[in-house]
Structure 1
Amino acid sequence: MERRGLESQAMITTSKMLHFLVGAWLALAPISPRHALAAPQNAVATNDFLNSIGVVSTFPDRGQPLAKTIEMVRYCGFRWIRAGIEGLSDDGPTTIQTFLDLHRETGVLLNWGLVSGGTDVMKLVETGKVLAEAGALLAFEGNNEPNNWGVTYQGEKGGGREPSWMPVAKLQRDLYQAVKSDPVLAKYPVWSISEPGAQRDNVGLQFLTIPPGAQTRMPDGTKYADYANVHNYIYHSHSPYPADNKTWRAADPTAASGVDGLFGNFGVTWARGFLGYTQEQLDTLPRVTTETGVAIGGTVTEQMHGLNLMSMYLAQFTRGYAYTSVYLLRDRTDEGGNQSFGFYKADYSPRMAAFYLHNLTTILADKGALAKPGQLDFTIADQPETVHDLLLQHSDGTFQLVVWNERLTGQDRLTIHFGEKQTSVKTYDPTIGVDPIQTLSNLRSLEITLSDHPIVIALSPG
């Protein structure tokens, strides 16, 4: 049995070597007519994608020391954190200095929200100014899921189990006005409440600004936000099981997404069917996700959890989400039911998701700035519907083509054709590490095999 295992391993190794040599020979072969299919594609600055990568976290008031938070954030490469005034106090353990120190040590920005049930707009604005003056502020956010955590504003109860959402609407309107009327804060975007699709009465929260003739309870022209904010968790009652294209579908701006996405919150509300934006408008609507994620359990293994989270950031950004925050940095220790979402376990040990994201952000790492990304001529021949791509450009001019597959099983063998010779091509696999797994030169096409995760192809055109 042992000898047979060694022989089998030797055969696998030989097969892999032949596979690599054949792929390299094909890549270096003379140009075929199919290379004429290569078409110019616009790149996006690598830092724009990296800046989109955020996370939800707890802080010292919920038992997570700042030093540990800094360590985890640095390792994974997060660029922003969802935070707010909930749990904030002058005496601590979580103070405004906690967030200033987190920014100073990691460079992360904070989106600053009322969080669950919060209504203190004055406190939000005043603490937001402190963050802005330190260069630590990203945006402001309205209430977190007011369908689950109602508010009492100006003596009125709304959201939650109350029949009206009018207090939620007035609060969001006032938050927006308070930010935009402040000379220090006016330049910062305001993100909407999450779950406007749950409205029980039509107060118009399915709009950023209520358009003329919308027939909502709040007047036309009421301004709520600059960005639509959703919580499009990829596993949902309408999409409960692992499947191909799981994260790609969750980021879909149409009714076909199958989860609690953009359409059901800002197109036709999922609770009462109030009309919002048309599909054409939704396609270009500025949007963010302040919560999405995956729980480990049942058919979702730790490896699938890690692969889902890595693909999630890519799919969200590619499909128009400027910022995405995953729930959760570390498993909750102060509440039940949330012990398997984290990049880290409760004892601070990293899950595979942390390793994968660390590798991806390390491979793409860019501390420079790129004012105007360029174009790369390429095409992926016979691209299956589960294969997706994102063209990035590093500040040093190198193109970084991220290609990923969202297959539950099986593989796809693909050929990427380039419009001009690539003098240097390096491929990386973030499920393996941060070093190149293949280095080639002077080629016009590249064959790759994809299964259930991304590869990064660094390209230097001739």
Structure 2
Amino acid sequence: MHSVATSHRLLTDTASSRHASHPKRTRPFGMRTIESFAAGICALACATAVQASDAVHAMPAEAFLQTLAVVTHVSYTDGAYVNVHNVADDMAWLGIQHVRDYAPGSSIPFSSYVYLAQRGVKFNFLMGADFEKHIGQVAKLNTEVPGSVAAIEGPNELNNFPVAYQGLTGASAGLAVQRDLYARVHGVPELKGVPVYDATGFEPKSVETRAASADYANQHVYPQNGEQPLWNANGDKWMLAAIHLGQRFQLPLVITEFGYFSLPQAGWYMLGVDEPTQAKGVLNGYMDAAAAGVKRLYVYELLDEKPDPTRKNDEMHYGLFRNDNSPKPVAYAIRNLTSILNANTTRRTSAAARSTLAYTLSDMPESANSLLLQKKDGRFVLVLWNETLIWNRATGTPLASPPARVNLDFGEKARRVDLYDPLASSEPLESHRDLRQLAVDVPDHVILLEITPANTPGT
């Protein structure tokens, strides 16, 4: 189980003080070094700093794709997740491998987890105080399908769902569980190399170190009031605040819950937006996290769990897919994104592609950001997005801001530049040939510029 309120409660150090006094809302759960994180935060905060002389190192596209993850509830047998074939098909259709779910228990057959693992699903298994009951099943799965267990995570949102353990209660009990879970996982040969994600929902300032307790810091981020994940003019920087807290323990960071539900809402401290706005926020969040060095971001969640004909139950609208398994705009957008990044041309295997691109971005507003990726065939993909207002919380309706005109100089002539909008299509919306400079309209959501430099070999 988990809570929307956790993200807010964890962020009160850096968010506006008006947030801290507002009543909290709850809902059921359903590698880099500190220096790298600091560099990522600078990139997020200083997007206008790219200079013509800078040779920007690209993140491999396949590494970026491994940061994309989603929450599932395979153990829920009274809703959409009962059909594990749909779960596997949906994950393959999206182009995502990583899920976060409860450890195997008695609610569904163990063979269902094996089936999903054989279909390519890689699990982060959530554990509680009863972790000893589940470790054996997790180890068994990783033996039957090697590499299917990507991580094991400690107790979920201790501030909302406290545990009791060895006579302890409250946060001290949860932290004791985390410490013993860490030792247990790293002592099981079948789980050798499997990292342990930290518990969530404890007060970081009350803990000096996570040594011998976690391999990754762990946070939850739910942008509230229909705001963007990172940059908002009123000073709310939801994801950035989580990144700062993750830095405290000098550990790489994962975000194991993030998202918006697609039930439009007005007011204050709400999370509901319409389906197109959900798509914008989720894609922007994936990019913000990768640009800041977050190892993996798990979007909540894959499926709308149950029907909600009266449209009054927030919990039934977080899915990338509706309850009838039809894709929402966010699912199409993710599929388009992964399809674009996975599409490669044939190139000579002997030809070595450079991994840097020197380019200039001019007139980037403070709210905009960029991320340079590189595909296996050597082509670069420059991702641009501008986190302007996307939701009117007073009226509960979407907002559209004019795009920012950004000037791009490649430093040398590019053989080809294709512009993609994953919210619209996996096909290029524009194609340009033999140019050095290009003016680009950057909207409130992710767009991609696929760049083939003039000297790219073998393409």
- What displacement does 1:96 show? 2.8
Provide the secondary structure at the position in 1 that maps to 2:69: strand
Aligned-pair CA distance for 1:351: 1.3
What residue in structure 2 maps to residue 377 of structure 1?
A: 358
Tell me how far apart the structure 1 counterparts of residues 344 and 153 of structure 2 sit (CA, whole Å).
Answer: 27
Partners of 2:160 and 2:201 within 8 A in 1: no
**In structure 2, what residue type is equivalent to 1:400?**
V
Structure-2 change in CA distance of 1:121 and 1:339 (3 Å): closer
- The SS at the match of 1:148 is coil
Q: Which residue of 2 aligns with 1:125?
A: 135
Aligned mate of 1:388, from 345, 363, 369: 369
Match of residue 97, structure 1, among 105, 111, 115: 111
Q: Which amino acid aligns with 1:389?
A: S
Matches within 5 A, 1:428-443: 428-443=420-435
Q: Indicate yes or no: 2:74 matched with 1:59.
A: yes
CA deviation after TM superposition for structure 1 residue 311, in Å: 0.9
Larger Rg: 1
Deviation at 1:337, TM superposition (A): 3.9
Given that 2:407 and 2:438 are in contact with CA atoms closer than 8 Å, whether structure 1 keeps it comes out as yes
Does the 8 A contact of 2:88 with 2:121 survive in 1? Answer: no
SS at match of 1:196: coil
Alignment-derived partner of residue 305 in structure 2: 332
Q: Note if 1:175 corresponds to 2:181.
A: yes
**Candidates 292, 296, 303, aligned match of 1:323:** 296
Deviation at 1:82, TM superposition (A): 0.1
Distance in 2, Cα, partners of 1:294 & 1:444: 39
Residue identity in the other structure for 2:199: I
1:198 Cα deviation from its structure 2 partner: 7.8
Match of 2:437, SS?
strand
Cα deviation code 1:377-436 (max 9, x no counterpart) = 112112111211111111111111111122231211111111222112111111211111
Instruction: Return 55-64 or 141-150, whichever deviates more.
Output: 55-64
Q: 1:405 to 1:36 in 2, by over 3 A?
A: closer
Q: 1:264 to 1:418 in 2, by over 3 A?
A: closer
Matched, 1:112 2:78: no
Q: Percent identity?
A: 29
For residues 155-170 of structure 1, the aligned pairs below 5 Å read 156-159=167-170, 165-170=171-176
1:257 Cα deviation (Å)? 2.9
Shift of 1:347: 2.0
What does 1:18-167 correspond to in 2, within 5 Å?
A: 37-59=52-74, 61-62=76-77, 63=79, 64=81, 65-85=83-103, 88-89=105-106, 92=107, 94-105=108-119, 107-114=120-127, 118-133=128-143, 134=145, 135-154=147-166, 156-159=167-170, 165-167=171-173
| Offset at residue 366 of structure 1 (A) | 6.0
Q: Is the 8 A contact 1:147 1:198 kept in 2?
A: no
Question: Do the aligned partners of 1:418 and 1:445 also contact (CA within 8 Å) in 2?
Answer: yes
C-alpha distance 411-266 of structure 1, shift in aligned 2 (>3 A): closer
Deviation at 1:95, TM superposition (A): 2.9
Q: Which residue of 2 aligns with 1:288?
A: 254
Counterpart residue identity of residue 225, structure 1: A
CA displacement at 1:293 relative to structure 2: 0.6
Match 1:402 to one of 383, 386, 389: 383
Choose which of 276, 280, 284 in structure 2 pairs with 1:303: 276
Q: Report the TM-score, using the length of structure 2 for normalisation.
A: 0.74
Residue pairs, 1:205-354, within 5 angstroms: 207-209=209-211, 223-235=212-224, 241-243=225-227, 246-249=228-231, 257-258=237-238, 261-262=241-242, 277=249, 281=250, 285-296=251-262, 297-299=264-266, 300-333=273-306, 337-354=314-331
Amino acid at match of 1:426: D
Residue 317 of structure 2 aligns to a residue whose secondary structure is: coil
Note if contact 1:56-1:291 (Cα within 8 Å) is conserved in structure 2. yes
Quick one: distance in 2 between partners of 1:67 and 1:375?
41
Cα deviation 1:243-292 (Å, max 9, x = unaligned): 4xx21249xxxx9635794268557xxxxxxxx55xxx5xxx41001111
Aligned to 1:426: 418
Instruction: Give me the whole-angstrom Cα distance separating, in 2, the residues matched to 1:372 and 1:102.
Output: 36
Alignment-mate amino acid for residue 191 of structure 1: Y
Classify the secondary structure of the residue corresponding to 1:419: strand
Question: What CA RMSD, in Å, does the superposition of the two structures yield over aligned residues?
Answer: 2.9
1:112–1:124 contact (8 Å) kept in structure 2: no
Give the CA deviation at 1:344.
1.5
SS in 1 for 2:116: helix
TM-score scaled by structure 1? 0.74
1: CA distance between counterparts of 2:307 and 2:135?
28
Q: 1:183–1:292: structure 2 CA closer, same or farther, 3 Å change rule?
A: same
Moved more, 121-130 or 331-340: 331-340
Match of 2:47?
Answer: none
One-letter identity of the residue aligned with 2:226: P
The verdict on how the C-alpha distance between 1:224 and 1:137 changes in structure 2, with shifts beyond 3 A counting, is same
> Given that residues 279 and 423 in structure 2 are in contact (C-alpha distance below 8 angstroms), is that contact kept between their aligned partners in structure 1?
no
2:35 corresponds in structure 1 to none
Q: Is the 8 A contact 2:200 2:219 kept in 1?
A: yes
Q: What CA distance in whole angstroms lies between the structure 2 residues aligned with 1:438 and 1:54?
A: 29
Go from structure 1 to structure 2 and tell me whether the alpha carbon gap of 1:79 and 1:265 turns closer, same or farther (over 3 Å shift): same
Give the total of aligned pairs: 372
User: In 2, Cα distance between the equivalents of 1:347 and 1:178?
Assistant: 40
Q: CA 1:313/1:265 → structure 2, altered by over 3 Å: closer, same or farther?
A: same
**Alignment-mate amino acid for residue 210 of structure 2:** L
Partner Cα separation in structure 1 for residue 203 and residue 415 of structure 2: 51
Structure-1 separation of matches of 2:255 and 2:177:
21
**1:125-174 deviation digits (Å, cap 9, x = unpaired):** 322222322121111100111222222223x2523xxxxx2221221111
Q: What code does the residue aligned with 2:101 have?
A: A
Where 1:305 maps in the other structure, the secondary structure is helix
Distance of 1:311 and 1:185 partners within structure 2: 33
Per-residue deviation at 1:343? 1.0
